[in-house]
Amino acid sequence: MRRAVVWLTILMFALALPGLIEPASAEGLIRELKIGGLYHDVPNLWSGFQLEERSLDVNVEALFGPHIVLPWGAVRPAAGATINTRGATSKLYVDARWEVEAPSGIFLALGIGAAVHNGEIEPIYADRKALGSRLLFHFPAEVGWRFDGHQSVSVYFEHVSNGYTQDYNEGLDSIGVRYGYRF
């Protein structure tokens, strides 16, 4: 029943969205590309503890041109991947990303979306987190500085978990630095 409500909500939002979105014609389909390195499964953040080995994640992301204009910023779709370099949990994600940028070039972005991962669902291995579901919520946050009209550097954080919709929900946090190029 719970899954049916979630899917119905997503369908209703998807049907209402086209009337609210400004087209990408002025900016193009892809607005910005980002790449960075993240610390994998950081302890003492949202998830609370570290279980997977310390390693590097490579993060790549595209922010798209279509957007919903809000009084403070805009909401845009984003899609990306966080790939672990040592075989631990990696993920693909899609988000709705709200971003506000000051005239100084400093920006803040927050998002919510969904991710799929290749990690463990149940606690089978002692060195892997039990994420409870193949499909997870994805929560990104980013603070950065755009130092010209095109380039930026930022600190990026992401959290994935199933939001306590399953028996196991150990969650996974990553944080690091990204470089972005806006077209």
Residues 31-80: tens digit of each pLDDT: 999 999 999 999 888 888 888 889 999 999 999 988 899 888 999 999 99
Number of domains in the chain: 1
Measure Cα distances from 24 to 1, 16, 43, 66 in Å.
37, 18, 39, 5
In a domain, 172, yes or no: yes
> Are the C-beta atoms of residues 65 and 48 closer than 8 Å to each other?
no
Overall pTM > 0.95: no
CATH number of the domain that 173 lies in? Answer: 2.40.160.20
Quick one: which of 90, 84, 137 has its CA closest to 117? 90
Return the pLDDT at 91.
98
> Are the C-beta atoms of residues 90 and 83 closer than 8 Å to each other?
yes
In a domain, 5, yes or no: no
What range does the domain containing 172 cover? 24-182
